[in-house]
Amino acid sequence: MSKVVEPRTLPGFMELLPSQQIQFNIMVDKIRKSYEKFGFLPLDTPIIEMAEVLLAKAGGETEKQIYRFDKGDNDLALRFDLTVPLAKYVTEYYNALTFPFKRYQIGKVYRGERPQKGRYREFYQCDIDIIGDGELSIINDAEMPSVIYTTFKELGFEDFTIRINNRKILNGLFEELNLKDTSVDIMRIIDKLEKIGKDNVIKCLQDINISNEKIDKIMNFLEIDGTTDDKIDSLKNLNFTNELFVKGLEELEQVVKYVRLFGVPDNNFKVDLTIARGLDYYTGTVYETFLDYYREIGSVCSGGRYENLSEFYTDRKMPGVGVSIGLTRLFYKLNELEIIKEDKKSISKVLVVSMIDDNSKSLEVADMFRKSGINTDIYLEDKKIKAKFKYADKLQIPYVAIIGEEEVKNGTLSLKNMETGEQEQLSIEEAIEKIKV
């Protein structure tokens, strides 16, 4: 039969070669292990939900990007994040859950964005959230940086900074300055500080008719600098009496105190008063995480505190705090920057090859390797020995166990170290010891 259809993968959908997939899975495993180390429970929700349920809260960009379709009588959609399914889940199963409910979810989400380099339409999010029933202690806000710190250390990073702010401080500032009504516009401008510079920010603020006096106060606020403790002192010295501001500052101080008690070194976190994180959702602590030498990647782990997770599904108040790693994009960027420099990784530790027609001994050896817990591949095709070694080489398998006539006679095998080229005759037990190291 001749070819009918061109096999191809949709743009914006990551599909990896096995050697990259192994690296990707190692990252997923480390993230999962680290989340579980903090007692987060696993969750797996459907990728398809009723559109009405998924879109209860959404609007604007989200509605445009969502994959939505009919099947039978149902108006369906693919999840575009893991937070809305969580809100649904905790409301639906409220009575069966134990609060605070700490869950992690690692799964694919879908957004039909305009395709461009490094932007994916299907991508993994790795989320943790802690959901309270009615209330949730501020100390949970300090656990998040502790999880982020542990996770990124586990992933092999040393130089990263978790930037922490509190939305109440920003909102309190705007209230204090009687700028509550334009706060959305101001935040949008402030958010560009790093990109457009101080002078342009001032110009933009003037353009929306903020008085110079107030602009001064905003800029003074944004330019608060120094160590984490300096910044908190400076904020106190502003002597703002606005209730929201005072509350936010109190929370930030608490979070900083507990983040240290959680064992996160000052090297790896700082207060950053310019972090706002979107406009509506978060109500208190917010986080962004940057790789110090790769700021251009953007935040690699973000999140914050929200007052009310499930307000569109229930009157029950469920405050929460959470962060998310956008793993697909992070993996893409790490590869692009050639930062993933781990040792060569293979699934199998050894490849068994037979030099003789009778495969009996090879199968027996492979079985013994596997029973000893060693991932073992076996080359079963009738090819020249060169092809067999090439297979091991291409899959980066570190050892090849060779079974020839002599080996069968002696009850031994020849073990070749593929990196050094060394080859030695060993008993099966000796080979197992060697491979396991």
Within 240-259, the residues that bind a copy of itself by CB under 8 A are: 258
Give residues 387-406 in contact with a copy of itself (rule: CB under 8 A). Answer: 391, 394-395
Q: Which two tokens stand for residue 170?
A: 């920003």
Nearest-Å Rg of the Cα atoms of the chain is 28
Which is it for strands 399-403 and 285-291: parallel, antiparallel or unpaired? unpaired
Size of the site for a copy of itself (CB under 8 A): 103
Choice between 193 and 374, CB closer to a copy of itself: 374
> Pattern of binders to a copy of itself over 301-320, x per CB under 8 A?
---------xxxxxx-----
Three-class SS of 163-198: EEEEHHHHHHHHHHCCCHHHHHHHHHHHCCHHHHCH
> Pattern of binders to a copy of itself over 148-187, x per CB under 8 A?
--x-------------------------------------
Rounded to whole angstroms, the Cα distance separating 124 from 24 reads 11
Give residues 330-359 in contact with a copy of itself (rule: CB under 8 A). Answer: 347-348, 351, 359
Q: Does residue 298 bind a copy of itself (CB under 8 A)? A: no
Minimum CB distance to a copy of itself, residue 270 (Å) = 20
Q: Does residue 208 bind a copy of itself (CB under 8 A)? A: no
Distance of CA 141 to the CA centre of its chain: 18
Minimum CB distance to a copy of itself, residue 67 (Å) = 6
Choice between 64 and 198, CB closer to a copy of itself: 64
DSSP-derived secondary structure letter, 13: B
Choice between 144 and 249, CB closer to a copy of itself: 144
Rounded to whole angstroms, the Cα distance separating 401 from 382 reads 17
Rounded to whole angstroms, the Cα distance separating 435 from 365 reads 13
- Listed in sequence order, the DSSP H helices in 347-401 are 360-371, 385-394
Give residues 356-385 in contact with a copy of itself (rule: CB under 8 A). Answer: 359-360, 363-364, 367, 370, 373-378, 380-382
Q: Which residue has the tokens 């609060």?
A: 99
Q: Does residue 31 bind a copy of itself (CB under 8 A)? A: no
Query: Within the chain, how many helices (H) and strands (E) appear?
Result: 17, 16
Give residues 42-71 in contact with a copy of itself (rule: CB under 8 A). Answer: 42-50, 52-53, 56, 67-71
Choice between 10 and 437, CB closer to a copy of itself: 10
- Listed in sequence order, the DSSP H helices in 293-359 are 327-336
Give residues 72-111 in contact with a copy of itself (rule: CB under 8 A). Answer: 72, 74, 76, 87-89, 91-93, 96-98, 100, 102-103, 108, 110
Rounded to whole angstroms, the Cα distance separating 358 from 355 reads 9
Q: Does residue 202 bind a copy of itself (CB under 8 A)? A: no
